Structure 1
Amino acid sequence: MGKVYYISKNIGIGLLVLGFIALATIIALSIAYDKERAKNKVKPGDGALESTSTPALPTTAFTPKEPWDRYRLPDSIIPVSYNVTLWPRLQPNAQGLYIFTGRSSVIFGCMKETDLIIIHCSKLNLTTTSSGYHVKLNSLGHAPAPTIRSTWLVVKTEYLVVLLQQKLQAGSKYELEAEFVGELADDLQGFYRSEYMQDGVKKVVATSQMQATHARKTFPCFDEPAMKAVFSVTIIHSPDTVALSNGKETDITDSLIDGVRVKVTTFEPTERMSTYVLAFIVCDFAEIQSNQNNLLIRIWAQRKAIADKQGDYALNVTGPILQFYEHYYNTTYPLSKSDQIALPDFHAGAMENWGLVTYRETALLYDPILSSTGNKERVTTVIAHELAHMWFGNLVTLQWWNDLWLNEGFASYVEYLGADYAEPTWNIKDQIILYDVQKVFAVDALASSHPLSRPEDEVNEPAQISEMFNTISYSKGAAVIRMLSEFLTEPVFAQGLSSYLNTFAFGNTVYTDLWVHLQQAVENTPGVQIPHSVDDIMNRWTLQMGFPVVTIDTRTGSITQNHFLLDPDSVVDRPSQFNYTWFVPIKWIKTGVEQQQYWLLQKTDTYHPMRVSGSDWILANTNVSGYFRVNYDLDNWNRLLSILNLNHQELSVINRAQIIDDAFNLARAKMISTTLALKTTKYLFKERDYIPWESFLRNLDYYTLMFDRTEVYGALQAYLKQQIQPLFEYFQTVTENWTRVPTIHTDQYNQINAIGIACNVGVDGCRELIKGWYRQWMDNQDHNPIHPNLKSTVYCTAIAFGGAEEWNFAWRMFKNSTLASEASRLRSAMACTKLPWLLNRYLEYTLDPTKIRKQDATSTIQYIARNVVGMPLAWNFVRSRWSFIFQHYGKGSFSFSSLINGITRRFSTEFELQELEKFKEDNQHVGFGSATLALEQAIEKTTANIKWVTENEAEVLRWFTEESA
């Protein structure tokens, strides 16, 4: 770690006093801000507010050759430390606006002579002078600071530009000061406000979300991950609130500023870190805490949630998970405290701000009486994911967003390890196959996919950065890192990881730095051998998109690999330096006996040990340890089918799920027959384990989406009914007629599957059971007889087979719910109704923040689109409101792409393809932001769906009809 510079405590106090003096000016400035905003009628997302005194030349003459026209900061200056003072107002002013005022200074070093200071600044009103924006430049050396010639804001690239009369001197340090006012808007970006009701009174929280490019909306800063610095933070707030930031509070004083009584909370300087993990919060929350090994751990939430013990579980698992990572990384937790807070309004699931992790309430709070097993697992895995980032991401940080996959993929992998340590009886590590590996296979098999690591010049604009927060980065990253850990062995992987983290602590890296340290671990461990260097092996998985399908001919021992594409006729226009060939580690078994790992290093090879005859069989990619699919000759497929039908437990749970998932997707790619894929499901009436059933249901979901508007659906339902009925009856027996909860964690999930599917396909007694439970609740709303595990299924089924009465009851319960996970269940279930007028009304509610929170708007539309009745309604709704939806919900949101994916999943006709292409054409002027790639993928998927349905509808109808006869 390099030398750290920050302002001493005495100087900091002096600056704070000066800050108080300046606040009178800032308050006056806020009035000017109100007038300016009212005059310009600025909407959220419009960019920086321009002063009328801004010099005309720099803002109107926009030439790409100028440094401020580029999205990346120049390398002429780098920040060393910041002092930031913020004062959020939690009451609206006379104009009805919530604002925050602030003052910041940044000390930076000059690396190259320059007469330009370019710093990020967006959506802030700075004090102005006749020559531009008022900022002050100080020299920290002997020579005086250059005179400021002019300043201006560039809205497109979100810069404050300071042009100097003389040049800054290389090797010298300077300080840039600014005063500003911003809006504490409800846009879930930067420094924003969240609202909730407490005892009938509206409460306001000032909170933050800086990732990826929103710190610049809070104060002028060098807002790139490599621009690490030390941050000294002071927050001024009302006396009845508490202030939180990344560091511990070092001083809390009562003050009187301009006649207003306030508290002033000062925090310890942070470690050297990136702007995107900064956090500032002012709230009236309660907390619970513990001290473990001199580390302060606190959980914050609404007072009622804490009183109801909804934070206790998170507090109980946080300490063990942190201890696990300290041991796993062989690196001590680098901070003095760990705060975690549940926010009423928060766009992402959670955010790994260093020392102050923010969560949606559903991701942190668990009610021991009212929450489900699924809620508990979500809390555990999300906490494990975010705490993994405290080291991998925060301590050592990516150089630029094109390598985001390394941050998120790594955390998405090790979250299973952390959660498994906290809850060892759940056997949660197996679930990565469902939730990450099989999930991302579906996306990465498209011609429009992209590599894990993209060239830097492909990721520049904020929308392009947001687009990187996708399934490829998270789930493929997790799958590939898991594969790497498997072939290196976990101890070697952990050894290399520890070396990497200790070497680059408080710095930035590119992904190849990790490969270097893993290679050193391999070379330092006797007995560990790999056919090429870690770099050579992994570059083929990170620098080219997609993955291989490995085809094994057990009659000859021939093994081949090919780039797997769901639509074999699609054209891949992204060249690969490796010609879409991978170094493939293959773990395999022969007739139940594990064999030595084999590496496929070229397109085609012959490996005689994989030749079999008679009743012997081969199963490759055991436990799906590698990121690839497997195909076989027909004889071997038939032998595997025979094992499933005669003694399915001879194969592991994961490999039973793998056979189903591989077969269904190989059939879609025309590599095996659709009939062969469907045959892998015939044994399921004997299957009791969750993972194979879940794999089947997810694959069957594609058939449902393609055929639930055709005659095929009836035959499909009939087949599914005969397969699910034994599972339904099994759980009815083991739960003693639904009065007990299954003991095994995954059995609880499979019970939910059994009830949900059985009711959907009409198994005798199921719907009556569900409707009876729901009616009991409607008759006595103070007593809900439905077990938390079953609530989502029961609510959806009762509303689907009910009417307006059932829906309106759910709406009342949703509005009155004080438990976030319960509200989330009801919000999803209300989309299950089959009544179009209710669905249309619900769609209108999604864009009314008084009815559906902004954070939940797009996911609610997706829920409605899942419903076969709701899909065309949601599609028409989004098309007609696209401009509004994009402006208010899409700009800067990295979850926005899921809206396009969710609405178009059923598209499988020429007419729907034409509508999709027209939608793209009609809205080019509006834009699609982080949904741009999702739209291209939707067109590609729709095209493939049309072909698949045309080629397979008759065969699928025949098979389901015959098998269900």
Structure 2
Amino acid sequence: MGKVYYVSKNVGLAILALAATALVTIVALSIAYNNEKAKNLGNHGGEVSDTSTPVPPTIPFIPKEPWDHYRLPTSLIPASYNITLWPELEPNADGVYTFTGRSAVVFRCVRATDLIIIHCHKLNLTSIRGHHAELSGLDGAAVPDVQRTWLVVRTEFLVVQLRGSLTAGASYVLQTEFGGELADDLKGFYRSEYAENGVKKVIATSQMQATYARKAFPCFDEPAMKAIFNVTIIHSRDTTALSNGMQIYTLIDNKPVRVTVFEPTERMSTYLLAFIVTDFSYNYLNQSNLLVRIWAQRKAIERGHGNYALNLTEPILHFYQKYVHVAFPALTDQIALPDFNAGAMENWGLVTYRESALLFDPQLSSTGNKERVSTVISHELAHMWFGNLVTLRWWNDLWLNEGFATYVEYLGVDYAEPSWNVKDHIVLYEMQRAFAVDALASSHPLSRGEEEVNTPAEIDEMFDTISYSKGSAVLRMLSAFLTERVFVVGLSSYLKTFAFSNTDDSDLWDHLQQVGLGIPLSVKDIMSRWTLQMGFPVVTIDTRTGNINQTHFLLDPDSIVERPSRFKYIWYVPVKWMRNGVEQKQYWLLQKTASVDQMRVSGQEWVLANTNVSGFFRVNYDQDNWDRLIDLLSTNHQALPAINRAQIIDDAFNLARAKIISTKLALRTTKYLSKERDYIPWQSALGNLNYFILMFDRTEVFGALQAYLRKQIRPLFKHFQTLTANWTIVPANHDDQYNQINAVKMACRVEVEGCRELIKGWYRQWMENPSHNPIHPNLRSTVYCHGVALGGVEEWDFTWRMCRNATLVSEAMKLRSALACSKTPWLLNRYLEYTLDPTKIRKQDASFTIQEISNNVVGMPLVWNFVRERWTLFFLSLRYGEGMFSFANLISGITKRFSTKFELQELVKFKKDNIRVGFGSATLALEQAIEKTTANIKWVTENKAEVLQWLTEEAT
């Protein structure tokens, strides 16, 4: 795509001159950095550095000066950067890895000011004529003298105070020289390591989203501050440098280095920048003016582990270009990194992945691994349009990036792998997941107020289930009621109009409105109720009277919603429905209550609302209609679409938890499951029954629950035993392969006869011949877990050895998860200690490993003690930091079994004891954990006896 923004000839010449200067200066900087690092660089030259400790969260901080605010002033707008970086892949004399750099940012003054405020975090700035930065003018602009410069720790700013004001309309260049640590903290410009043939290899790589570009170079680090980036990287001769664009040229001087210069980027946000220096190899595809390269460790490329990703990328890109009618740049580099905190990152032209999210081995990887690779690639490539080309103005609207990418990732995979039926999986993996969080009083709207999202921790909190999963579900609903044709026409217009710019959701609504719509209100009026207020409705239909109403669905009806809504928690609800299996005209519920004559039925007629589960709401019925639907499931369940069978189960269980219907009614929806063979209803049922397992697996109810589940799962287990010729072949259907896993996993968990013996036999065969694994990749996660759980020290140690020796990351992940399944407390405690040793568990995997141990009923209390004891020392001060540890997932994972008053007291005490330390991006997750625990206590108290009685009766 052609550039939209250009720089003037004089500006361009200035940039070239700065680049030449940078190449000379950078060598001296690399030497100077190690000397400067030992000093307090903030105070050299008489300059001031704010190194004060941040005020504890119990003491409110009141901003007084412009640099006390977390948002940049709007008086300066960047146009372009010229950045030169030199990462050292060998440690210095102190054993520290470092990088040095030089940056020149061209910016325009839009409002006269005597302050330049720019982001800078954990960089050691080198003095230039006595200050942290040097200012010059372009096109004859007068340049005031620099009075002083200083760093502000709290807001992560470099402040340049001038003796006079910059002129509105004039352009300037701010130059900085700096050094930093190439740390292994997984954020900014950082270090990743791996072993090749026993030799340690070091990679310099980056992760800028959301607020880490400032850790790599001084910049205007906000998404709306888009600019063009000219990148130069100095690196050793035996490595390759990668960035967002193609290499223009590479110079090799008499020194043992290369100087690689990249083409200017498109106009884009700082969080999309990427710099990598590595000796990886790649495979590639070059056709139809599209160059795709998959980069990974040499052995992975030699073994063909990048081939699936390579072959998948072209059809998905082809689909997106056709879908939105907007062309795509000609370069797509994708790289699998050994150390990477996120699943993947959509850097424009250089997408970074965890190895497990990009690499696939057809011999060793499972169907689930393959689908994960495809959906992650599809998600990241979707971001090229939804996020990179058109970007949110501020992080409070993150859902515009992530919700879109999550929704269309399913469309992209469906195009590339049409036999998988993945478009229906969005109901399981996104909608039901979003329902669980958005039913809490502590939820938040898709689009929060800008004043709520300021600090880096508050920005990190936005990367949650609401932004991703609810965002995708609401967009799917929008597409359904507009029709896909209208939706994509408006979408294409929106992308073309705002290419290389920033938007908020009102811009999207305006473009969809222009297409011509058959809806009762404007798109903005309808969608504002779904994006500007949290939560969702439960729509109740009384088929005896035809009355229909909506109320705000809360998992705990006694919880107090403190967040006000100008819409009073009333939504404009598009209700697709059927009567006796015949689709009816969509009905719009525009107020709290209404009457619909067509929904009044009699006799054996039934009503089913929210067909195809296209709407983001739950559905309740009168008792008679519930009875008719449950009878239909028992007598002819295939009369209902599989996706709606899943919906009936999920709605019923959650309505029961909210005390809207009885728990017995919810359990009745599962009685037909002994006849069910489809994956989506079974997955929905198991997900909901898992709540019963979590609440009761430490109580006397569990025996009856286990007996009932054994009765329901046994026919499915026998079905797959027959279908697979006694476990010797793989089901041909994609969803059947998933349901086979469900059958084996649950059958062994509830002790269906023959299941545990089957697994023990497979595992013993492998232990006796480690070089030949008889377990099919699809079943390995389940078999490994049960093999460890049913075994002892010998099985655990064998699994640990296999994990350490695994050459495929996805295989290592399965083994690492299995190690958490042990029922031996001391083994689990030893495993927890391993998470503190990065030579045993990579830092990126520590949080996941701890969560896996907490999933184990034996491991949960061990993890809870482990985390509480080390919260300050390890999790906040020394070991992890926000960039490499998912505090929110950790808290929610540990507490999901909490269901006693004592556990609630412990949780509240944990919050109180650590309030001064803080919880970072887990702040909201902690509030939600307290709310969920409170609801769990009430639910168990009210339902335990009734559930035990029902299960006991039905298990026979």
The TM-score normalised by the length of structure 1 is 0.96
**SS where residue 169 of structure 2 aligns?**
coil
Q: Distance in 2 between matches of 1:57 and 1:590?
A: 71
Q: Distance in 2 between matches of 1:902 and 1:50?
A: 41
**Residue of structure 2 in register with 1:954 after alignment:** 945
Question: Is 2:103–2:175's contact at 8 Å kept on the other side of the alignment?
Answer: yes
Aligned mate of 2:610, from 612, 616, 621: 621
**Residue of structure 1 in register with 2:29 after alignment:** 26
Deviation for aligned residue 1:34: 4.0
Q: Distance in 1 between matches of 2:51 and 2:465?
A: 38
The answer to whether residue 901 in structure 2 is matched with residue 910 in structure 1 is yes
Q: Distance in 2 between matches of 1:16 and 1:52?
A: 26
One-letter amino acid matched to 1:434: L
**Residue of structure 1 in register with 2:56 after alignment:** none
**SS where residue 545 of structure 2 aligns?**
coil
Deviates more, 1:16-25 or 1:661-670: 16-25
**SS where residue 354 of structure 1 aligns?**
coil
Q: Distance in 1 between matches of 2:783 and 2:876?
A: 34
**Residue of structure 2 in register with 1:44 after alignment:** none
Deviation for aligned residue 1:128: 2.6
What does 1:615-764 align with in structure 2 at a 5 Å threshold? 615-764=604-753
**Residue of structure 2 in register with 1:134 after alignment:** 132
Deviation for aligned residue 1:577: 0.4
Q: Distance in 2 between matches of 1:268 and 1:196?
A: 30
Deviation for aligned residue 1:9: 7.6
Q: Distance in 2 between matches of 1:357 and 1:20?
A: 27
Deviates more, 1:2-11 or 1:851-860: 2-11
Going from structure 1 to structure 2, the CA distance change for 1:851 and 1:566 (only over 3 Å counts) comes to same
Q: Distance in 2 between matches of 1:428 and 1:605?
A: 35
Render the CA deviation track for 1:137-188: whole Å, top value 9, x for unaligned.
1110224321111000001000000011111100000001111001000000
Report how many residues are paired.
944
Aligned mate of 1:585, from 557, 560, 574: 574
**SS where residue 818 of structure 1 aligns?**
coil
**SS where residue 738 of structure 2 aligns?**
helix
One-letter amino acid matched to 1:128: S
**Residue of structure 1 in register with 2:307 after alignment:** 312
One-letter amino acid matched to 1:851: K
The answer to whether residue 917 in structure 2 is matched with residue 896 in structure 1 is no
**SS where residue 577 of structure 1 aligns?**
coil
**Residue of structure 1 in register with 2:58 after alignment:** none
One-letter amino acid matched to 1:253: L
**Residue of structure 1 in register with 2:196 after alignment:** 198
**Residue of structure 2 in register with 1:5 after alignment:** 7
Question: Is 2:30–2:99's contact at 8 Å kept on the other side of the alignment?
Answer: no
Question: Is 1:107–1:176's contact at 8 Å kept on the other side of the alignment?
Answer: yes
**SS where residue 633 of structure 2 aligns?**
helix
Question: Is 2:513–2:522's contact at 8 Å kept on the other side of the alignment?
Answer: yes
Deviation for aligned residue 1:450: 0.5
Deviation for aligned residue 1:479: 0.4
Deviation for aligned residue 1:293: 1.4
Q: Distance in 1 between matches of 2:803 and 2:739?
A: 26
**SS where residue 163 of structure 2 aligns?**
strand
Question: Is 1:479–1:627's contact at 8 Å kept on the other side of the alignment?
Answer: yes
Render the CA deviation track for 1:370-428: whole Å, top value 9, x for unaligned.
10000000010000100000011000000000000111011110000000000000010
Render the CA deviation track for 1:556-608: whole Å, top value 9, x for unaligned.
00000000001111110111101100000000000011111000000000000
Going from structure 1 to structure 2, the CA distance change for 1:935 and 1:644 (only over 3 Å counts) comes to same
**Residue of structure 2 in register with 1:365 after alignment:** 359
Render the CA deviation track for 1:601-638: whole Å, top value 9, x for unaligned.
00000000000000100000011110000000000000
What does 1:32-47 align with in structure 2 at a 5 Å threshold? 32-36=35-39
Question: Is 2:847–2:885's contact at 8 Å kept on the other side of the alignment?
Answer: no
**Residue of structure 1 in register with 2:118 after alignment:** 119
**SS where residue 676 of structure 1 aligns?**
helix
Question: Is 1:587–1:620's contact at 8 Å kept on the other side of the alignment?
Answer: yes
One-letter amino acid matched to 2:773: N
Deviation for aligned residue 1:59: 6.5
**SS where residue 253 of structure 2 aligns?**
strand
Deviation for aligned residue 1:463: 0.2
**Residue of structure 2 in register with 1:494 after alignment:** 488
Q: Distance in 2 between matches of 1:6 and 1:698?
A: 59
Render the CA deviation track for 1:9-36: whole Å, top value 9, x for unaligned.
8765543332232134302322224424
Deviation for aligned residue 1:834: 0.2
One-letter amino acid matched to 2:127: T
Aligned mate of 2:224, from 223, 226, 230: 226
**SS where residue 165 of structure 2 aligns?**
strand
What does 1:306-455 align with in structure 2 at a 5 Å threshold? 306-333=301-328, 335-455=329-449
Q: Distance in 2 between matches of 1:890 and 1:956?
A: 43
Q: Distance in 2 between matches of 1:50 and 1:651?
A: 68
Question: Is 1:137–1:145's contact at 8 Å kept on the other side of the alignment?
Answer: yes
**Residue of structure 1 in register with 2:290 after alignment:** 295
Deviation for aligned residue 1:2: 5.5
**SS where residue 338 of structure 1 aligns?**
strand
Deviation for aligned residue 1:763: 1.1
One-letter amino acid matched to 1:464: E
Deviation for aligned residue 1:134: 3.1
What does 1:873-888 align with in structure 2 at a 5 Å threshold? 873-883=862-872, 884-887=874-877, 888=879
Q: Distance in 2 between matches of 1:177 and 1:56?
A: 19
Q: Distance in 1 between matches of 2:128 and 2:307?
A: 53
The percent identity for this pair of structures is 69
The answer to whether residue 590 in structure 2 is matched with residue 601 in structure 1 is yes
Render the CA deviation track for 1:288-328: whole Å, top value 9, x for unaligned.
11112111110000001101100000000100000000000
**SS where residue 645 of structure 2 aligns?**
helix
Q: Distance in 1 between matches of 2:281 and 2:738?
A: 33
Deviates more, 1:50-59 or 1:861-870: 50-59
**Residue of structure 1 in register with 2:72 after alignment:** 73
One-letter amino acid matched to 2:620: N
Question: Is 2:42–2:48's contact at 8 Å kept on the other side of the alignment?
Answer: no
Q: Distance in 2 between matches of 1:631 and 1:60?
A: 55
**SS where residue 38 of structure 2 aligns?**
helix
**Residue of structure 2 in register with 1:937 after alignment:** 928
Q: Distance in 2 between matches of 1:54 and 1:237?
A: 34
**Residue of structure 2 in register with 1:164 after alignment:** 162
One-letter amino acid matched to 1:554: T
Render the CA deviation track for 1:704-744: whole Å, top value 9, x for unaligned.
11100000000000000011010001000010010100010
One-letter amino acid matched to 2:920: G
**SS where residue 864 of structure 2 aligns?**
helix
Deviates more, 1:887-896 or 1:281-290: 887-896
Say what the alpha-carbon RMSD is for the aligned residues. Answer: 1.5
**Gaps in structure 2 of 5+ consecutive residues:** 54-60
Deviation for aligned residue 1:778: 1.0
Q: Distance in 2 between matches of 1:578 and 1:50?
A: 50
**SS where residue 108 of structure 1 aligns?**
strand
Question: Is 1:54–1:151's contact at 8 Å kept on the other side of the alignment?
Answer: no
The answer to whether residue 810 in structure 2 is matched with residue 810 in structure 1 is no
Going from structure 1 to structure 2, the CA distance change for 1:659 and 1:391 (only over 3 Å counts) comes to same
Deviation for aligned residue 1:775: 1.1
**SS where residue 164 of structure 2 aligns?**
strand
**Residue of structure 1 in register with 2:280 after alignment:** 285
Question: Is 1:467–1:894's contact at 8 Å kept on the other side of the alignment?
Answer: no
**SS where residue 552 of structure 1 aligns?**
strand
Q: Distance in 2 between matches of 1:286 and 1:9?
A: 34
Question: Is 1:51–1:128's contact at 8 Å kept on the other side of the alignment?
Answer: no
